[in-house]
A and B are shown apart, each in its own frame.
Chain A
Amino acid sequence: MNTESEVAEAVKAAKGPLIIKGGGTRSVGRPAQGDLLDVSGLSGVTLYEPGALTLVAKAGTPVAEIEAKLAEENQRLAFEPYDLTGLLGTSGATTIGGVIATNASGPRRIQAGAARDFALGVRFVDGAGNVVKNGGRVMKNVTGYDLVKLMSGSWGTLGVLTEVSLKVLPAVEASTTLVIADLAPAQAIAAMSAALGSPYEVSGAAWIDGAVWLRLEGFANSVDYRADALSTLLASHGEIVRSDNCDWTRVRDAVPLHDCAHVWRISVKPGDGPAVIAALPDGSHSMMDWGGGLIWAGRDAADASLHAQIQSTVAGLGGHATLIKAPETLRASVSVFQPESTGVASLSAALRARFDPRGILNAGLMAA
C-alpha cells in the first residue's frame, strides 16, 4: 500500500477486521484479529519549513528518517517519542503514524508537551473508507473541532492515519543532568517536585535505578547557571552530582525493565507515584518519569488478578494503567487499557461506532 487512496479502497473493500501495521514495533493492546493493512509504504517527508517550525510526513515515515532530517537543520521532535522495540523485543522501524496514534511521549512531556501537543494536522481514512483531514500545518488553528487530538492516542481504532503534520523545535546547544543517588520513592518525589516547581525549566525528572535525574537544556551559559541554582535549591535533598553523560533514552524507553515479562505504564499525579509503587507486590521493578507522574512497573510473574489489582489502585488515585507488555494469552483475557467510567466509556464507544461503524479497525485492541 503506497497511497492514501489505496488505503481508502482497501478499507472500503474489507470483508472483515483489519490490523493496521506501521513499523510493526507495537504488539500492544488486546490481540486483534484480522487481515494486515500495511501502511509502511506511505512514506516520506512531504514538506519541511525550518523557519516555520513545521514538518509534514506520510504516516509510514520512520521516525529515524524524520529525526535525521531535523538534525540537519538543528531541530528536533521535542516530545521525545519513545521506542518500544527494546522493551517488546520486536524489530522494525518506529513510524511517525505509530507515534501519533499511540501519543508516545518521552521524558520531555512534562516541559514541552506530549505527541498530541505537537501534532498540528492529520489525514486519515475512517472505518467506512472516507478520507478525512483535520487541522493543518500552521501552529495555531481552532477551525472546527480538534480531531487531531482525538486521533492521537486512538491506536488506529478510529481511522488509519495517512499523513501527519508536526510542530518541531530548535535543538539545544547544551544538556546536563543533576543526579541524586539512593533515594526512596517518596524522597525522590520531594526532590523532583521542588525542581519542577522552580523557575529553572527542568526538561526531564526521573527516578531510575534508585537515583533522581534532573535534566536541564538550553544555551550552555544558561544551563550552567541553572545547574548551579538548582543544586543550591535542592541541597537538602542529598548529594548532587552533575553529569553530562546520563543517557536519557534509558528513561525514555524504560531500559531497566526490558527483561521483565510483564510491564505496565501508569499515569497518575506525581505525588501518587510512591503509593502506586508501594502497592506493587514483592519482586516488582519500577522506575518513574514525569516527576513521578509516569510509573513504569515490571515483573516476571503476573496474572489477571494482579493486573486488575493494579488498575484498581490506579482508579482509586485517579489516572490510568496500561499493560504495555505481557504474553498474548494474558492480554487477550484482561482489559489492557484502564477501564473507564461509565460516562467516558459510553462516549468513547459511541465515537468508535461513528468513525468505524463496522468495527473493523484494530477491533478490540483498546476495548472489548
Chain B
Amino acid sequence: MEMPIPDPDVLARKARVVSRLREVLPADAVIDDPAETRAYECDALTAYRCPPMVAVLPSTTAEVSEVLAICHAEGVPVVPRGSGTSLAGGALPTADCVILGVARMNDVLETDYDNRFVRVQTGRTNLSVTGAVESDGFFYAPDPSSQLACAIAGNIAMNSGGAHCLKYGVTTNNLMGVTLVQMDGTVVEIGGAHLDSGGLDLLGVICGSEGQLGVVTEATLRILHKPEGARPVLMGFDSAEIAGACVADIIKAGVLPVAIEFMDKMLIEVCEDFAKADYPMCEALLIVEVEGSEAEINDQLALITEIAKRHNPVALRESASAEESQRIWAGRKAAFSAIGRVSDYMCLDGTIPVSELPYVLRRIGEMSKEYGLPVGNVFHAGDGNMHPLICYDANKPGDLEICEEFGAEVLKLCVEVGGCLTGEHGVGIEKRDLMTYQYAPSDLEAQMAIKDVFDAKWLLNPAKVFPLSVSETRRKTAIAAE
C-alpha cells in the first residue's frame, strides 16, 4: 500500500512541535518516545503499520483545539483516533503525523430521558453509552460487533452499522449533534437535541467523513426505550441461493425483523467452536431476530417460520431462553475474532442489492478456487452488506498481495452489480485506490471540494479515502502554500 513520503521538514521540526504541544497538554498526554508511539502504529487492519511522529491524548475540547491550532500553524498532519478498531486503516498513522487520540474523553455529559438523548464525549465506547442508560430501560441502537472496544468517535467517522441496523438504522440515523474542532482550532457546534438542520445538513456530511473534516469531541445521540423482549430464530438451508430467496420473501411479506444475519459453513464451524451456540451445521445459516412483547414475538415468528418452511429448511430452531439467545449473538458478534484464531484474514465490506446475493456468493466461491485462498461469508443479509473473509498466511511471501488482488476483484464485482465498495467499515487506505471504480472524476471532485472547505491545508488524515494520485495536487499545493 502506497503512502505519501513523510515530509522531511516536519520530521526535522519534531522537537519544536513536541515542545509546543507540551505547553498546552499535561506531560503524560504527549507521547514522543519511539518505544511508546509504537502502540499507535496500526488499527485493526494490522497488515499495515507505521509509528506516528507523536501521539497526544487530550482530555477536553479546549485541549483538542489548542493541539490542532499548533499542528495547523506548523503544517503537521493529524490523524484522529478513537479506539483503533478500524478495519480499513482509517487510523493508520504516517511517520510525520500527530496521532490525536480521544480515549481520555469518555464522560457522559448529559442524559435526558424525557427528550430521549444523551450527550457524551466521543472517546466513550459504543457499549458503554448503552451501559450508561440501560438501568433506566434505554439503549443506544447502533451495535457494531466491535462495540465493546470501538469509540463513538470512530463510529461517527465511519458511520458504523451493526447487526440490528435493519430496524434502527446506522450511526448517521441516530446522531443528532456534534462538537467539531476544525483543523485551525475553531470549535463549531452542529445540530443538537432538536431534529434536523435548519440550514445545510453539515452533520450528515461529517458523519462518515473518516476523520478528514475535523475532530469530533462531543456527540448528542438518540436513545430509545428497550423493546419488551427479543428472540432469534435459526434457519439452516442447503444453499446460499435458498437462504437468499427466503430473505427476500420475509421482507416482501411485510415483516421487518430487527436483524437478518447470514453465515456460511466455514463461519458456522468457527463460531460454534468459539461460542458453543449449537448452530446447525449446514451450507447457509440465517439468524433472524424479532422484537416486542411475548405475543408479538410469537406472531412474527409464526409468520417467518411459515415462510422459511416453504424453502425446505434443513434446520429451524427458535431460541428457547435468554441465555441461548445471548450465545447465538455472542457467536455471531465474535465471527471476526473466531476466524482470526484459525487464520490471518482480510475482511471485505461491499454492499450489493439483496437480489444479487446468490450470484455474488457463487462468483466469490469460484474466485476462491482461482486465487487458491479460502473464503468465509458472514453478513447482514437483510441489507446486502456482505463480509467475505479471505484467509491468507501473513508469513507466506506473496500471500497478502494475492489476497488483496482477490479482495479488489470482489469489490469491483459488488460495484458492477449495482452495489458499493463499503457498507460500514469505511474506505480508509484499504479501498482508497478502488474509489475510481465507483465514482467518476466529477463525483470525487465534489467530495474533495468538501474537504477543501473544512480543511484547506489537507492536514487531517490526508492519505485516506481518495486515491493518492487523485488527491496529490491538493496535498502538494496545500503544503507549498505554507
Q: Which residues of A contact B (CB under 8 A)?
A: 49-54, 73-74, 103, 105, 109-110, 113-114, 116-117, 126, 130-134, 136-150, 152-154, 157-158, 169-173, 193, 196-199, 219, 221-222, 225-226, 229, 267-272, 290, 293-294, 318-322, 337-338, 340-341, 343-345, 347-348, 350-352, 354-355, 366-367
Contact = CB atoms under 8 A, between A and B. Distances in A.
Nearest to B466: A144
Given A116-B196, A134-B443, A366-B199, A143 B292 contact: no
A275 to B, nearest CB: 13
Contacts of B450: 145, 147, 150, 351, 354
B421 to A, nearest CB: 5
A325 to B, nearest CB: 16
Nearest to B188: A343
B354 A222 contact: no
Given A145-B450, A219-B299, A341-B189, A271 B196 contact: no
B188 A341 contact: yes
Contacts of B385: 138-140
Contacts of A198: 225
Among all A-B residue pairs, the 10 with the closest Cβ atoms:
A149-B204, A320-B198, A343-B188, A140-B423, A51-B248, A170-B254, A269-B193, A139-B383, A338-B198, A319-B194
B245 to A, nearest CB: 9
Nearest to A268: B194
A136 B418 contact: yes
A51 B354 contact: yes
B207 A146 contact: yes
B195 A293 contact: yes
Given A132-B442, A137-B418, A193 B115 contact: yes
Nearest to B297: A222
Given A221-B296, A269-B115, A114 B446 contact: no
Interface string B307-326: 00000000000000000000
B114 A142 contact: no
A50 B252 CA distance: 7
Interface stretch (B10-18, B67-75, B121-129, B164-172): B164-172
B192 A197 contact: no
State which size class the interface on B falls in. 35 or more
Interface string B92-128: 0000000000000000000011111100000000000
Contacts of B446: 126, 130, 132, 134, 147, 355
A117 B187 CA distance: 26
Interface in B406-437: 418-427, 431, 435
Contacts of B198: 267, 319-322, 337-338, 340
A77 B189 CA distance: 31
B205 A147 contact: yes
Contacts of A347: 188, 202, 453-454
B27 interface: no
A344 B195 contact: no
A267 B194 CA distance: 6
A350 B420 contact: no
A148 B248 CA distance: 26
7 contacts: A51-B355, A116-B204, A138-B423, A141-B422, A146-B205, A229-B293, A347-B454
